């Protein structure tokens, strides 16, 4: 019999139970015991759900209160000293590393003020992990509680045998970084120190009864230097033969020599993303877990196509050596399609969420094992055919407009120096101009009124009056503290992608389709189901109203085409390039309408442009950079020289070349948690203007004015003053008003201090 396997299940809960209890704990409204209780209930529910679905190999240690990589740092004692001196409980150390901690002194507790560790994208997904941070003084050891062992035993007590999941040592070190006091340290050099800790942990799992461990080495799909490739043999000769070495998100073939002789029990490969690697990996001579059910998207698996891949694997390595699996953890998919009662039934039939994917892996495994699942295969084939033939997916007018795209359409009227001269004359901004990235706090009152409007409990006129009042509050505050380029605060927007998707043709939306982005931040990605177009203006009304309240420049705020694409569930039947260019054309209409309405500073955010970068260098990557930049320029190049185009990027390892081709007049970049001064130097020759983010908006801590001054001074050592904008890392929607007011006031006052010096 061919077995079925799921590499990990969403931990958030079908009704976002994890978010609610975690934020309640952070707010002091819930005890640690209650937090841990809800976590245990979620794990039990997930294991039982998979068991009842008939999944043979169920993962444990796929749960986390914040981030699975951060969990490992806590477990292995990779905890920078600044987090250890306060005698915090382990769960609070975890949260302090993930989101920072600032607490005033009391009679029983000292004052605490620590920033969060750096957070970056998990490969090319929209999930963020907390980067492991090492120094010369890092002393690895196995801390308690020993989470992987505890959770394995927890499942075992329920009568459910699981396969624990660990991030492997090569990936854990390679995805980490040196701390600011040890910048000469290469993390991979710590392998001899960390291997004994892995061995100790694996020994405890075996002692508890685990017969196999899923050990993830996703860095095998990257372009690895030879010194890293060579470490795999060293590591896995020590770790034991009961490991399933697991990769996902890409092609392992360029690194195949690094793993071809490893003494492991088997391998897992992502055959959704790269099915053509099967021939090569089959030659490894080991049992194969074949990832044929997509862990990253919501489209139904084509059973016939997936079964054909599995049957090919069986032919190559034998039936007893094949496992049918999800391509990756299902962390990246919504929990349950059954809860979507408002979806068009025709479109809903095309989708599969995490719960439904359990049945998919089980059904395919049964089919290739010779069991009769003909009814399910027939229903699946009917659904796949219906989608392929549906008129919902095609719009002839959009397809015709795509043919009009040429180099002229994607080029500004003049080069940046000429545009800059006109913009300086028009806006007369001071040195170190200050601005924000766009959103202001989404208060409880905003959410309540949005919900009332959605339910028809207040009229459109009443809702507009409420939104206008919120906009005025934001504008007056910005004027009061002296920001130079203002925003309207986005109170009308539920999400920076969903808001636009709801006003574009070609999208579908869920009610409970939440996916974890980081920590307690969940998103509900729209689903691109067909060709995209803009039926009417989306943002002009609010921007024009905001501009009417002030003489300061008011930014129009849009989300860019690549980010809308990447932060939605994209189509899998047409290329990303086509979808991005369709979005670029729709946004071009919006940009032009904003300019006509008098909004001449327009920000088109592209935080996802780096995450969409193909994981390996080569033609696919260069092609992506070309069409990604082209789609942005299509959206923004129809304006006059004096209209200033901004863009924003965050929480990725950026390269200046990734953004240079966009030709935006001003870009803002997340910078507050970057410790390496070389990162600034990389951008010092960037021709256009840059705002380097000066405080972490994902943390509740408030930087002092002196902290801003010190940060700006460091930047100015390597970055020209006349090109430097001052801004936060990202939008402020997740923060509260008190911390926003104090942080922005300190930021603006620090910028003003420098103006008289240059």
Residues annotated as catalytic are 698
| Residue (of 83, 86, 218) closest to 138 by Cα position | 83
- Please, are residues 668 and 437 in contact by the beta-carbon 8 Å criterion? yes
Residue 605 annotated in ligand binding: yes
Cis-peptide into 145, omega within 30 deg: yes
136 assigned to a ligand binding site:
no
- Beta-strand relationship, 505-508 and 527-533: antiparallel
Is 197 labelled as part of a ligand binding site?
Answer: no
First to last CA, the chain: 74
Return the closest-CA partner of residue 744 out of 700, 706, 703, 685: 703
Residue 594 to residue 544: CA distance in whole angstroms: 8
Close Cβ partners of 208 (under 8 Å, ≥ 6 residues apart)? 149, 152, 153, 156
Residue with tokens 């024009």: 544
Chain CA centroid to CA 297, Å = 14
Say if residue 85 is preceded by a cis peptide, omega within 30 of 0: no
Distance CA 326, CA 294 (A): 6
Q: 567 a known binding residue?
A: yes
Whole-angstrom Cα distance, residue 110 to residue 86? 8
**Would you say the C-alpha torsion 305, 310, 312, 313 has a positive or negative sign?**
positive
627 is in an annotated binding site: no
Distance CA 348, CA 78 (A): 44
Helix (H) or strand (E) holding 364: helix 354-368
171 is known to lie in a ligand binding site: no
Instruction: Write the DSSP string, 571-631.
Output: -SSS-HHHHHHHHHHHHHHHHHHHHHTT--EEEEE-TTTTTTS-SS-SHHHHHHHHHHHHH
Q: How far is residue 750 from each of residues 315, 481, 492, 689, measured CA to CA in Å?
A: 67, 12, 31, 19
d(CA 394, CA 271): 28
Distances (CA, A) of 608 to 125, 370, 509, 647, 701: 9, 43, 20, 11, 26
220 exposure class (CB count in 10 Å sphere: 0-12, 13-18, 19+): buried
Annotated binding-site residue? 638: no
CA pair distance 349, 339, nearest whole angstrom: 13
Q: Which residue has the tokens 């803009």?
A: 534
Where do we find the tokens 């099915």?
Answer: 275
**Residue 19 labeled ligand binder:** yes
Q: If you compute the radius of gyration of the chain from its CA atoms, what whole number of angstroms results?
A: 26
Inter-axis angle of helices 540-548 and 460-481, to 10 degrees? 50
Distance of alpha carbon 55 from alpha carbon 362, whole angstroms: 6
How is residue 110 written in tokens?
């000292």
Does the annotation list 490 as a binding residue? yes
Q: CA dist 491 to 385, 472, 538, 555, Å?
A: 41, 11, 14, 15
Residue with tokens 């998207």: 297
User: What are the distances in angstroms from CA 574 to CA 93, 626, 633, 637?
Assistant: 45, 18, 21, 25
CA distance 589 to 354: 37
Q: According to the annotation, is 87 in a ligand binding site? A: no
To the question of whether residue 650 is assigned a binding role by annotation, the answer is yes
β-pairing, 601-605 vs 644-649, is: parallel
How far apart CA 508 and CA 494 sit, in angstroms, is 15
437 is in an annotated binding site: yes
Known binding positions for L-methionine? 437-439, 490, 605
Please enumerate, by residue number, every residue annotated as part of a binding site: 19, 126, 437-439, 490, 567, 605, 648, 650, 670, 730
Residues at the binding site for 5-methyltetrahydropteroyltri-L-glutamate are 19, 126, 567
């Amino acid at each position: 019999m061919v077995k079925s396997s799921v590499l990990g299940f969403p931990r958030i809960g079908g009704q976002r139970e994890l978010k609610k209890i975690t934020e309640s704990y952070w707010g002091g409204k819930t005890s640690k015991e209650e937090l841990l209780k809800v976590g245990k209930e979620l794990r039990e529910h997930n294991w039982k759900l998979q068991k009842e679905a008939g999944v043979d190999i169920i993962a444990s240690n796929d749960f986390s209160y914040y981030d699975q990589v951060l969990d490992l740092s806590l477990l292995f004692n990779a905890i920078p000293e600044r987090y250890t001196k306060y005698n915090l409980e382990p769960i609070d150390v975890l949260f302090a590393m993930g989101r920072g901690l600032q607490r005033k002194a009391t009679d029983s507790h000292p004052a605490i003020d620590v920033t969060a560790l750096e957070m970056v994208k998990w490969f090319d997904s929209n999930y963020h992990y907390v980067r492991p941070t090492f120094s010369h003084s890092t002393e690895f050891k196995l801390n308690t509680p020993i989470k992987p062992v505890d959770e394995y035993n927890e499942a075992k007590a329920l009568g459910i045998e699981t396969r624990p999941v660990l991030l492997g040592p090569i990936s854990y070190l390679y995805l980490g970084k040196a701390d600011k006091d040890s910048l000469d340290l290469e993390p991979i050099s710590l392998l001899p120190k960390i291997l004994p800790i892995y061995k100790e942990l694996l020994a405890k799992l075996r002692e508890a009864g685990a017969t196999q461990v899923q050990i993830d080495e996703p860095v095998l799909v990257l372009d690895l230097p030879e010194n890293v490739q060579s470490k795999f043999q060293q590591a896995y000769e020590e770790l034991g033969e009961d490991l399933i070495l697991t990769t996902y998100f890409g092609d392992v073939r360029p690194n195949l020599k690094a793993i071809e002789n490893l003494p492991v029990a088997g391998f897992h490969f992502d055959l959704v993303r790269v099915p053509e690697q099967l021939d090569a990996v089959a030659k490894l001579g080991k049992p194969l877990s074949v990832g044929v059910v997509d862990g990253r998207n919501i489209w139904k698996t084509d059973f016939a196509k997936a079964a054909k891949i599995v049957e090919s694997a069986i032919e190559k390595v034998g039936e007893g050596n094949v496992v049918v699996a999800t391509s990756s953890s299902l962390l990246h998919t919504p929990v349950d399609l059954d809860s979507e009662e408002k979806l068009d039934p025709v479109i809903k039939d095309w989708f599969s969420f995490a719960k439904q994917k359990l049945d998919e892996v089980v059904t395919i495994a049964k089919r290739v094992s010779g069991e009769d699942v003909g009814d399910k295969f027939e229903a699946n084939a009917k659904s796949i055919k219906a989608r392929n033939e549906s008129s919902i997916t095609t719009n002839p007018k959009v397809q015709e407009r795509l043919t009009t795209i040429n180099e002229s359409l994607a080029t500004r009227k003049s080069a940046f120096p000429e545009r800059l001269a006109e913009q300086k004359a028009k806006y007369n901004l001071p040195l170190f101009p200050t601005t924000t990235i766009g959103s202001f706090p989404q208060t409880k009152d905003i959410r309540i009124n949005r919900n009332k409007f959605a339910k028809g409990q207040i009229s459109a006129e009443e809702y507009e009056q409420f939104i206008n009042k919120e906009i005025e509050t934001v504008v007056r505050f910005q004027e009061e503290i002296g920001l130079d380029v203002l925003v309207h605060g986005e109170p009308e927007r539920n999400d920076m992608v969903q808001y636009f998707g709801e006003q574009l043709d070609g999208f579908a939306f869920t009610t409970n389709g939440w996916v974890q982005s980081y920590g307690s931040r969940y998103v509900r990605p729209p689903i691109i189901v067909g060709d995209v177009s803009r039926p009417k203006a989306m943002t002009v009304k609010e921007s024009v109203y905001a501009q009417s309240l002030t003489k300061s420049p008011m930014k129009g705020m849009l989300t860019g085409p690549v980010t809308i694409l990447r932060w939605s569930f994209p189509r899998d039947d047409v290329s990303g390039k086509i979808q991005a260019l369709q979005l670029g054309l729709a946004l071009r209409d919006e940009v032009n309408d904003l300019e006509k309405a008098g909004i001449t500073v327009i920000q088109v955010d592209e935080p996802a442009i780096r995450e969409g970068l193909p994981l390996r260098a080569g033609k696919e990557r260069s092609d992506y950079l070309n069409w990604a930049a082209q789609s942005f320029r299509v959206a923004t190049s129809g304006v006059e020289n004096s209209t200033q185009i901004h863009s924003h990027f965050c929480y990725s390892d950026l390269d200046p070349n990734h953004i240079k081709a966009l030709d935006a007049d001003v870009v803002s970049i997340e910078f507050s948690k970057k410790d390496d001064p070389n990162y600034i130097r990389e951008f010092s020759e960037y021709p256009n203007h840059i705002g380097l983010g000066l405080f972490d908006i994902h943390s509740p801590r408030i930087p002092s004015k002196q902290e801003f001054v010190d940060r700006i001074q460091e930047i100015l050592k390597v970055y020209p003053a006349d090109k430097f904008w001052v801004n936060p890392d990202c939008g402020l929607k997740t923060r509260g008003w008190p911390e926003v007011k104090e942080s922005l006031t300190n930021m603006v006052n620090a910028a003003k201090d420098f103006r008289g010096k240059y």
